[in-house]
Amino acid sequence: DARVTQTPRDKVTEMGQEVTMRCQPILGHNTVFWYRQTMMQGLELLAYFRNRAPLDDSGMPKDRFSAEMPDATLATLKIQPSEPRDSAVYFCASGLIPGPGNTIYFGEGSWLTVV
């Protein structure tokens, strides 16, 4: 059963600490997205990669956020230093684009709380 795997599922951290979230996309998918979801803003696109190359990270606060894809099986999203306003659910999604419907599939999310 192919699925996107994210770690950690839950993270509580103190303001100022570094947070790293990891994502393993579905094998064979060439595009990986990072989204952040809050009640107020909904699902916001932070960054995405195609064939491991970053295509767009304009949705990401550059001073504290960074996204990388060191290999085809791992994408990372780092926040340093973290702030309470970063508390949200962070979703990774992957897809084969172009492909059938250009559909993407979501991981279960990383629930981040910064206190």
Partner 1 sequence: QKEVEQNSGPLSVPEGAIASLNCTYSDRGSQSFFWYRQYSGKSPELIMFIYSNGDKEDGRFTAQLNKASQYVSLLIRDSQPSDSATYLCAGNTGFQKLVFGTGTRLLVSP
Q: Which is nearer to partner 1, 30 or 66 (CB)?
A: 30
* Region from 17-25, 28-36, 70-78, 79-87 binding partner 1, contact rule CB under 8 A: 28-36
Q: Name which position in 7, 22, 26, 45 contacts partner 1 (CB under 8 A).
A: 45
Alpha-helical (H) ranges within 20-115 are: none
Distance CA 112, CA 46 (A): 15
**CA diameter of the chain:** 42
Which of positions 85-104 make contact with partner 1 (CB under 8 A)? 91, 93, 97-98, 101-104
Sheet holding 5-7, edge to edge: 5-7, 19-24, 74-79, 65-71
Q: Name which position in 24, 25, 32, 35 contacts partner 1 (CB under 8 A).
A: 35
Q: How many residues does the chain have?
A: 115
Q: Chain-centre distance of CA 56, in angstroms?
A: 13
Q: How many binding residues for partner 1 (CB under 8 A)?
A: 23
Is 31 a binding residue for partner 1 by CB under 8 A? The answer is yes
Phi/psi of residue 102, each to 5°?
50, 45
Query: Which stretches of the chain bind partner 1, using CB under 8 A?
Result: 31, 33, 35, 41-43, 45, 48, 55-56, 91, 93, 97-98, 101-109
